[in-house]
Chain A
């Protein structure tokens, strides 16, 4: 019984794309991967699912449930900021005297939504290009991979900064930026997996049978590549949240007065230097990010445990 064990793909974090070698791990995992088998969540997987569902629920319904609008003042006549929790402001007030809880509820949808949309975009582009490169042959692969290498070697925050400076920060821009930046990493992963599958016996057999390329991709490659990619998805999501909050630190992420968890941590950091301030405005959104991450990880661990490594699980 193991919940945390086989998170190999978890290692493919932001900086961990294994450029020239990820074939090997992918290969070993895929040996055991049964494409369409169903799997059950473990206990910790369930805990993760509950945490994530909770935040997704808040994300969707938060603005309707929140006691105040994200930009409203619960105590308009009181000029002091960072107030401790009291009646009318369950988690206290923030740097501009707004209700922290309402802002977390408004921010949930934005934070999760941007990260989710950005990751989906990164996956869509990365998988299409990556498997495309694997299928299309050496020349296309060579050119696309070199361009991809050039982008991947630049710090993500740098690329984000340039794009946001050039076109201004808005939610669609952040989603597209995150999508494009993280596409480079997904591309690598997808290409490596695709390459590996291309030389598998069953694909060779399909080729011999005379199946078209589209059939091979959809019926053979994708079902086999899906599991490892999905287990990477959760972590990519977290990296996008962190990426957006780093941009917020530099004043380039989600723009005030809109609420976003990363931005909330950033804009309330001054609480540590404000006399008599409540620290909840910083700690609460940081905890929100942390719990979401842990929740996602718990689920990811279950998925990747399912995707391979049966022996370790048995041990």
Chain B
């Protein structure tokens, strides 16, 4: 209980606060700080509280220096520093070390300006003007300007673009340079989500004319010192960085350790400081070990069984419903994910989305109902092929759970586990029923447009609903909050009731760190706290 008139640490003036923190930093003890405070006229009790506050403030003040080793779960010859070609989380985190985007994504999924100082859409969001930050330099000393932005963005446009996010930029007509520090995007169709697309890792800004990415200059917090795909990448602090809050580390080495047992051993032994993708079974071990901590970023990434609705067996509504009713969601959350997930409700918009609909009743596990629907489906003991792969934690277990529960009601699931490489080209969108893992997207609309609109390239369930498509387009221009919420609820209910997805869980991104690692971020869009951390990382033992 602190009295209002009592001076506490937060209550000090900035200058006094800085002085006290400086004293603590230099090793002043409680008595010395109190003496200084009391000399300045404070009471003993007040002076004591100041010391505590200063210590805490100092503990939370980033320190410069030190080195960290970051391990992702995979790397290989395809590692790249070309943003437009990035597809793996090791690339994403490197992209955040070396480059900046026009905007950066934040914890609440809003965007903040990064290289763009001001972002000005016109009234219907069909033309966007970006005022660029001045005085930013590339790592090679050249100045950043509008040409760089236009060059970068044009790489994503056109049918022959080799950019992996080419399809997301379909709605953009062209990018135009207004002057050295202003660019304009002309859209074919209005889109209020353009900044979210600009926040993607693939949209980071590269220098005009850059084609060789073996040691690319960026504007980011770190400079590339060594880059060997599939071996290691070393970056060093950019002393000339254009933002105040970071970077703090001298050097970061990043690599991939494919085997999860080896990765956890390396973290426990202290060979690495940060690891991606902690296997849920090791969560308790990491928590119990005094040197390590779990780094969990709540998210609505999800895993699902996609049942093709355009095929005979997988399109059988009763079969889909029976399988949905068989999923032991609680068990998956507690058993497989050790609580680092939330129960899914057979639609893709989990609780981390702004537009999540909490009003849809949770579908329970109900073997009797499932049996009823399965018998109604008339499939009998014909084998039902289900394909899964370790594309995300839980995908394989989800298959085994389904197979086991199914056998109890006489459903014959023919489960096949295949390898992850080639999964997206050979299995996904082709096989009748397969496990799919989705990252979270910045908005519900992007997610639904990507995977549930009838004409979407990635409509993995081949589900077609005119009502859904109509609503999805309409909702983009709705500004009334209540109406918008209702419409998003309708969209989610449609998938929940009629869709071909069996979505038992929304999962967190679960990584782990050594305890000296500070400055973690929690953006729910990717592993490594959304990969936004490099600029802010610091060591409290530096």
Contacts and interface: CB of A to CB of B under 8 A. Distances in A.
Contacts of B285: 273-275
Contacts of B334: 79
B261 A168 contact: no
B418 A168 contact: yes
Contacts of A79: 331, 334-335
Contacts of B288: 275
A135 B25 CA distance: 87
A275 to B, nearest CB: 4
Given A257-B403, A275-B288, A270 B420 contact: no
Interface string B384-416: 000000100000110110011000000000011
Contacts of A168: 416, 418
**Chain A's interface: helix, strand, loop or mixed, by majority?**
loop
A276 B282 CA distance: 11
B261 A274 contact: no
A129 B400 CA distance: 43
A251 B419 contact: yes
B352 interface: no
Interface of A: 71-73, 79, 81-82, 95-97, 164-165, 168-169, 251-252, 255-257, 269-270, 272-276
B265 interface: yes
A256 B400 contact: yes
Nearest to A98: B400
A269 B260 CA distance: 10
28 contacts: A71-B403, A73-B404, A81-B281, A82-B281, A96-B397, A97-B335, A165-B421, A168-B416, A168-B418, A169-B419, A251-B419, A251-B420, A255-B417, A256-B417, A257-B399, A257-B400, A257-B403, A270-B261, A270-B264, A270-B281, A270-B282, A273-B261, A273-B281, A273-B285, A274-B281, A274-B282, A274-B285, A275-B285
Interface string B408-446: 000000011111111000000000000000000000000
B404 A273 contact: no
A272 B261 contact: yes
A11 to B, nearest CB: 32
Contacts of B113: none
B268 interface: yes
B416 A255 contact: yes
Interface in B258-285: 260-261, 264-265, 268, 279, 281-282, 284-285
B417 A95 contact: no
Contact of B279 (A72, A73, A270, A275): A270
Contacts of A81: 281, 335
Contacts of A257: 399-400, 403, 415
Contacts of B284: 274-276
A264 B420 CA distance: 20
Contact of B260 (A72, A96, A270, A275): A270
B400 A273 contact: no
A165 B419 contact: yes
A169 B419 CA distance: 9
Contacts of B260: 270
A166 to B, nearest CB: 10
A62 B264 CA distance: 35
Interface of B: 260-261, 264-265, 268, 279, 281-282, 284-285, 287-288, 331, 334-335, 390, 396-397, 399-400, 403-404, 415-422
A103 to B, nearest CB: 12
Contacts of B419: 164-165, 169, 251-252
Contacts of B420: 251
A273 B417 contact: no
Contacts of A71: 400, 403-404
Contacts of B399: 257
Nearest to A161: B419
Contacts of A273: 261, 264-265, 268, 279, 281-282, 285
A253 to B, nearest CB: 11
A223 to B, nearest CB: 45
Nearest to A71: B404
Nearest to B259: A249
A169 B281 contact: no
B280 to A, nearest CB: 10
B404 A72 contact: yes
A42 to B, nearest CB: 41
Contacts of B400: 71, 96, 256-257
Nearest to A77: B331
Contacts of A97: 335
A72 B403 CA distance: 10
A80 to B, nearest CB: 8
A127 B387 CA distance: 39
A200 B264 CA distance: 60
A270 B421 CA distance: 23
B258 to A, nearest CB: 9
Contacts of B416: 168, 255
A28 to B, nearest CB: 45
Contacts of B279: 270, 273
A67 B261 CA distance: 30
Contacts of A96: 397, 400
Contacts of B282: 270, 273-274
Contact of A251 (B265, B335, B390): B390
A72 B400 CA distance: 10
Contacts of B287: 275
Contacts of A255: 416-418
Given A71-B400, A81-B335, A270-B281, 6 more contacts: A79-B331, A169-B419, A251-B419, A257-B399, A273-B268, A275-B285
A178 B240 CA distance: 58
Contacts of A275: 284-285, 287-288
Nearest to A80: B335
A165 B420 CA distance: 10
Contacts of A270: 260-261, 264, 279, 281-282
A275 B331 CA distance: 20
Given A165-B419, A168-B418, A256-B400, A269 B335 contact: no
A249 B493 CA distance: 42
